[in-house]
Structure 1
Amino acid sequence: MYYEDESLKWPKISIITPSYNQGSFLEETMRSVLLQNYPNLEYIILDGGSTDNSVEIIQKYDEYIDFWVSEPDNGQADAIYRGIEMATGDIVAYINSDDIYYPGAFFKVAKEFIKNPDSGWLTGRTVFVDEYSNPKSDQPRYLPINMFNMVYLGNFVMQPSTFWKKELFLSVGGFDKNLRFSFDYELFLKFLKFEKPLWINQNLAGFRYHSLSKTTNIHDVCVEESDEIKSKYICNDSIFKKFIGRIFSDLYSLIFNYRHR
């Protein structure tokens, strides 16, 4: 359990966990949220009608959860979106039912937002863990988070370690609920149109990589969705066009200056 200075006025953090038949990992996920010992926490769990022991696990912690329901939904994105809409916190994030937060993560996030009150989102480091929560590898080396890198190099902003203000989420129109797996990628690109995120160079969360998360069909859908999102931003995003135009302008200037030395 993690403790911090209770004399500070901590901003309210709302955490949403979408859940469906992940009973093997759900309790560890929930405990990683609740044992943050964060004094101004709202925890929402939206279970999609699990048929395993997920509901029993949720009921076990009922008194510590602000809201939970178990009923059929329209998929992960729909559940998360509904959770964010009902959230009352200034800061919002979601943690999937097989991932975990590391001790002290919420206090680190809150401190950054307190120090940077005008910032709308932040991200930190994520550790890849196996089904037993053993670290397998760290997040790849940090790269500058900008539109060019995010479009051409893909989504290297790790969702489990990313938090944002609900106000920013609503102002960009949320994410596309029709996307099955890449809605977080699309959301982060929308955020980037407004501002770059704060960066915490510490491990905030663990992303669980296990047999159920490696299936080829899921990978193929992710790639297809990501390619569609990239295409949209390359072709239609005015900021990206200006960015590319600036690159070619600078390149032309270099060539011109070289030829006329």
Structure 2
Amino acid sequence: MTEILPLVSIVTPTYNQARYLAETIASVLAQDYPHIEYIVINDGSSDETPAVMNTYGDRIVSLHQANMGQARTLNKGWAMARGKYVGYLSSDDLLFPHAISRLVAVLESKPEVVVAYPDADLIDPSSRVILSSVAREFDYDALVVQQDCHIGPGALFRKSLVEQLGGWRADLRLAPDREFWMRAGLQGEFHMIKEPLAGYRMHPESISYYDTNPNTAKEYLRVLDDYYARPDIPARLISRKDEAYANAQLILCRMLLRDGKFSEALDHYRDAVRLNPKLPRLQTWARLIRTSVSKPIRRWMWQIKRTFSFAK
């Protein structure tokens, strides 16, 4: 049976995630799809990651390297992948048993689809479901203009797409995946399977990782600069260029608020209003304040839970 099924290559880059890695690997090896190449790359971890990887022998393709970062590591894995379809799975996330077979069925039956992805559940460090069905239907205009993307773990895409686009941009730290989807969305359709087939893990380390320096967040402006320099942008999105830049300015505003730099945050808010005078002022400020405090509050709550769990 496996001879007539297309090979699927999954790449997991991992850096100091030994606590979750075994469960991630097991979730891929437990797939009901029988023709998978699983590449796990230890990106310079200093914890027990090598020992975890060694327990799986030749069931996975294991690589160990000095730290290169997520984007370069994924690009390296995709370059060596032999599959017709490729994907990635972060080393703290999970695939549920039918994920690959469902996604391959979509890609095989719909040649116009370049990316297929499942709905996902948000899970905690113990793999308990916090919130069900957190993914959303793909909306290319929302991705570009509102900087809004809800593709979680489990996405599969054609290897020819990676070869055509060149993979993730290694100069981006915050959203190389989002920028990749922006380019991929110009090449074909995205299809979401409305069934939770993956677990997207939330834990203290992941929250702190995304609590990024505001200077780094300026890459959202660079991404838009590069995007709007393209000759193949749909006319409807060219007409919404100022709106897209306004939303990028709001992202910077939120980062600066979180960093306590209120004067600079106000400057970016004013830039956003100048670019998009139709912004609802009160609703926008309410959303900025809510999203600015949510991650620090979640981190604080996680720390309390961790303290109490250690005390038991």
User: Same fold by TM (over 0.5)?
Assistant: yes
What interval of TM-score do these two structures reach, taking the shorter chain for normalisation? 0.7 to 0.9
Is residue 230 of structure 1 aligned with residue 206 of structure 2? no
Q: Report the equivalent of 1:81.
A: 75
State the Cα distance separating 1:129 from its structure 2 match: 0.9
**Is residue 93–residue 163 contact of structure 1 (8 Å, CA) maintained in 2?**
yes
% identical equivalent positions:
26
Q: Report the equivalent of 1:29.
A: 24
Stretches of structure 2 that go unaligned for 5 or more consecutive residues are: 241-312
- CA–CA distance in 1 between the matches of 2:45 and 2:22? 14
Is residue 106 of structure 1 aligned with residue 100 of structure 2? yes
1:52 alignment partner, SS class: coil
In the alignment, residue 208 of structure 1 is paired with which amino acid?
R
Shift in alpha-carbon separation, 1:128–1:219, aligned structure 2, 3 A = farther
State the Cα distance separating 1:185 from its structure 2 match: 0.7
- Cα RMSD (Å): 2.4
Q: Report the equivalent of 2:121.
A: 127
- CA–CA distance in 2 between the matches of 1:48 and 1:7? 31
**Higher relative contact order, chain-length normalized (CA < 8 Å, sep 6+):** 1
Q: Report the equivalent of 2:172.
A: 179
Stretches of structure 1 that go unaligned for 5 or more consecutive residues are: 1-5, 248-261
In the alignment, residue 10 of structure 2 is paired with which amino acid?
I
Shift in alpha-carbon separation, 1:44–1:19, aligned structure 2, 3 A = same
- CA–CA distance in 2 between the matches of 1:141 and 1:184? 15
**Which of residues 13, 16, 20 in structure 2 aligns to 1:18?**
13
1:215 alignment partner, SS class: helix
For these two proteins, the number of residue pairs brought into alignment is 240
State the Cα distance separating 1:75 from its structure 2 match: 0.8
State the Cα distance separating 1:192 from its structure 2 match: 0.6
**Is residue 123–residue 157 contact of structure 1 (8 Å, CA) maintained in 2?**
no
2:185 alignment partner, SS class: helix
TM-score, structure 2 as length reference: 0.70
Shift in alpha-carbon separation, 1:123–1:53, aligned structure 2, 3 A = same
State the Cα distance separating 1:236 from its structure 2 match: 2.2
State the Cα distance separating 1:241 from its structure 2 match: 5.4
Q: Report the equivalent of 2:47.
A: 52
State the Cα distance separating 1:44 from its structure 2 match: 0.5
Is residue 64 of structure 1 aligned with residue 59 of structure 2? yes
Is residue 197 of structure 1 aligned with residue 190 of structure 2? yes
State the Cα distance separating 1:175 from its structure 2 match: 1.9
**Is residue 85–residue 157 contact of structure 2 (8 Å, CA) maintained in 1?**
yes
**Is residue 138–residue 150 contact of structure 2 (8 Å, CA) maintained in 1?**
no
Q: Report the equivalent of 2:35.
A: 40
Is residue 115 of structure 1 aligned with residue 96 of structure 2? no
Shift in alpha-carbon separation, 1:144–1:82, aligned structure 2, 3 A = closer
**Is residue 136–residue 151 contact of structure 2 (8 Å, CA) maintained in 1?**
no
State the Cα distance separating 1:201 from its structure 2 match: 1.0
2:28 alignment partner, SS class: helix
1:184 alignment partner, SS class: helix
Q: Report the equivalent of 1:214.
A: 207
**Is residue 120–residue 135 contact of structure 2 (8 Å, CA) maintained in 1?**
no
**Is residue 159–residue 184 contact of structure 1 (8 Å, CA) maintained in 2?**
no
**Is residue 145–residue 196 contact of structure 1 (8 Å, CA) maintained in 2?**
no
- CA–CA distance in 2 between the matches of 1:79 and 1:37? 27
State the Cα distance separating 1:18 from its structure 2 match: 0.3
